[in-house]
Structure 1
Amino acid sequence: MLPILFLFLSLLLLPSSHAADFCVADLTGHLTPSGYECKEESSVTTDDFVFSGLGVPGNTSNIIKAAVTPAFVAQFPGVNGLGISAARLDLAPRGVIPLHTHPAASEFLVVTQGTICAGFISTANNVYYKTLKTGDSMLFPQGLLHFQVNGDGTKAMAIVSFSSPSPGLQITAFALFANNLPSALVETVTFLDDAEVKKLKKLLGGTG
């Protein structure tokens, strides 16, 4: 019994290591599906765990009249490996976050100002949407197409959190019309006519 007790005490008295407590991203490296490599703990500071960007309004002077301020791992190294991140959404009157998907994360939205019509489409093509008022929240399951629209005459804002430090983003309209995929192919896969495809490509910066 005594040898077991001494072994237990010796393990308790070993120098502790905090390497598993966190893995602050070394942004000089490369992002991989499992995240960034960790910074040396000796170079980690409190600032790695603090992000002030969510308190700054985004610039909504653009084609969608909306702005997303991310607190993903690239902006907030402390979330690396922790399975979380966040962002701020600013929507001017009639602003829209177009149909998009986050391949690597589910999303949790909280409206902090104004009203936002938000929804998602399931893989069975069922639509779930609702106009949310200040204080309301909504979930968007991982990988599903979803959107947020401010149809009101006043600005709206929301804070969103994600189940990944790097949730990924693909906006459907930009994926289709902001690239160099030949228009004939886009017309085939979208059932749109040539004039409409070329109009959208011109609007969103695509070619082909």
Structure 2
Amino acid sequence: MDCLRRPHSSPPYLLCLVYFALLGAVMAVTVVANDPDPLQDTCVADLNSTVKVNGHVCKAADMTTADDFSSAFLSKPGQITSKLGSLVTLANVAKFPALNTFGVSMARVDYAEGGLNPPHIHPRGSELLYLEKGSLYVGFITTENKLFAKTIKQGELFLFPKGLVHFQLNVGEGPAVGIAALTSQNPGTSQVARGLFASMPAIESVVLSKAFQIGEGEVKHLRDVIAKS
């Protein structure tokens, strides 16, 4: 900048220092993209507390035991009842309170043969999927509408970046099982179809009709079908 070439005693130089200080502060804020770092060794969530914070209040240290840091929550498959043929069992801070302040969670995904974990996003976390059993067609779509997709097999990994639409489809014979690690204690999940066609209250039909270039009768049909999926 031109002001840097002036004598250091001149007022414009001081303005430059202020400018760069503010610029540095803005840059520091914009790179914060994950859960906050912990400020103590442990902070097991007190899920019974009525105090609301960005996360959870810590359980009293003298009430914390080794059992708080262990869970068999993902050890057994759940019963798949969805018409989509999949079931996600999420071990987030609400299910495993010891995760509080550590910025991680896990999920088990069980797929029936031909089962689909439909297009969805995690607004607060990236996902690393390990395929424990079976064969999946997986992929995500960038903000430029570019699809990255492939078929993965048992023992392989696939990464889904934070906030991008992604999906998994069981393309093998028999059931499949995936284990996912997520970079947030509460990554959140928003299914694309349910978000649009099963929101409460409902989006005005004209919005969906124009967005998808379909008739309002088709909007009603999709609402009925997706609400039951």
Shorter-chain TM range is 0.7 to 0.9
Unaligned 5+ runs, structure 2: 1-38
2:208 match: secondary structure: helix
Distance across 2 between alignment mates of 1:90 and 1:29: 33
Query: If you compute each CA radius of gyration, which structure gives the higher value, 1 or 2?
Result: 2
Length-normalised TM-score, structure 2:
0.78
Q: Identity across aligned pairs (percent)?
A: 38
After superposition, what is the alpha-carbon deviation per residue over 1:19-53, rounded to whole angstroms, capped at 9, x for unaligned? 81011111123696731111111111222211112
Aligned residues: CA RMSD: 1.7
After superposition, what is the alpha-carbon deviation per residue over 1:89-139, rounded to whole angstroms, capped at 9, x for unaligned? 000011001110000000000000000111100111111011110000011
Distance across 2 between alignment mates of 1:69 and 1:197: 30
Distance across 2 between alignment mates of 1:192 and 1:132: 34
Does 2:118 match 1:102?
no
Letter in 2 for 1:149: L
Structure 2 counterpart of 1:196, from 212, 218, 225: 218
- In structure 2, what is the equivalent of residue 92 of structure 1? 112
Distance across 2 between alignment mates of 1:190 and 1:30: 43
- Spell out the pairing of 1:36-75 with structure 2 (5 A cutoff): 36-75=56-95
1:199 match: secondary structure: helix
Contact 2:125 2:162 in 1 (8 A): yes
Contact 2:134 2:173 in 1 (8 A): no
After superposition, what is the alpha-carbon deviation per residue over 1:138-164, rounded to whole angstroms, capped at 9, x for unaligned? 111110100011122310000000011
Does 2:37 match 1:22?
no
Give the direction of change, closer, same or farther, for the CA distance of 1:110–1:189 in structure 2 (3 Å limit): same
- In structure 1, what is the equivalent of residue 166 of structure 2? 146
1:125 match: secondary structure: coil
